[in-house]
Amino acid sequence: MEFSDWDLVQKCQAGETSAFQELVLRYQQKIFMVVLGLLRDREDSMDVAQEVFFRAYRKIKGFKGGSSFYTWLYRIAVNMAIDSHRRQKRNPLEFRENMDRVLEEQNEVEKDPFSNAHDQELRAGLTAAINDLTAEHKAVIILRTVEGLSYKDIGEILGCSEGTVMSRLHYARKKLQGKLKAFL
């Protein structure tokens, strides 16, 4: 029998750690993808994603079900990833090394989504352009592109209106488009 998120949350609130494990299994990949989109470093992202679930575990008793569990969880993830991203930005050398590693990783043929495409440069340019976005702009791009979330859900996660989400997405895309004009 498949339990809903809310059923599992209630079991967690009653002290069943196995129910929380089930929630982790459901969302670990999605949360990791969101964090990775913001941080661009696999090791850091894995660490932050685990920390996200730990934070969720500690706060789960206070979760009343006012929003869906995944928007609540994503909110924790985005906030923690943005914090971590800001700390990385304060350490540009480390950030640059991480970026280089990401580019190296993506150059491996079996992992490369552009391996059959002619525009390797576009991929490198895009990766760099994403990293030049502000954390808020990056967050909307990732939540929309990776997770395909609606503007309403993104607004709930980021604590802003749908109009703000629309505006942030518009400007983030404009910035990316401007930087990649030669490739598009």
Residues that bind other proteins (CB under 8 A): 17, 21, 24-25, 28-29, 32-33, 36-37, 42, 46-47, 49-51, 53-55, 57, 79, 83, 105-106, 110-111, 113-114, 122-123, 126-127, 130, 141-142, 144-146, 150-151, 159, 162, 166, 169-170, 173, 176-177, 180, 184
For residues 93 and 98, which CB has a smaller minimum distance to other proteins in the complex? Answer: 98
Q: Considering beta carbons, is residue 18 or 93 the nearer one to other proteins?
A: 18
Closer Cβ to other proteins, 93 or 109, answer by number: 109
Q: Nearest approach, Cβ of 125 to other proteins (angstroms)? A: 9
Long-range contact pairs involving 57-65 (C-beta distance under 8 Å, separation at least 24): 57/12, 57/20, 60/9, 60/12, 60/13, 60/20, 61/13, 63/9, 63/13, 65/6, 65/9
For the chain, helix, strand, coil in percent to 5 are 80, 0, 20
Nearer to other proteins, 93 or 106 (CB): 106
Q: How far is the CB of 100 from other proteins (least distance, A)?
A: 15
CB 176 within 8 A of CB 129: yes
**CA count, 13 A, side-chain hemisphere, 162:** 5
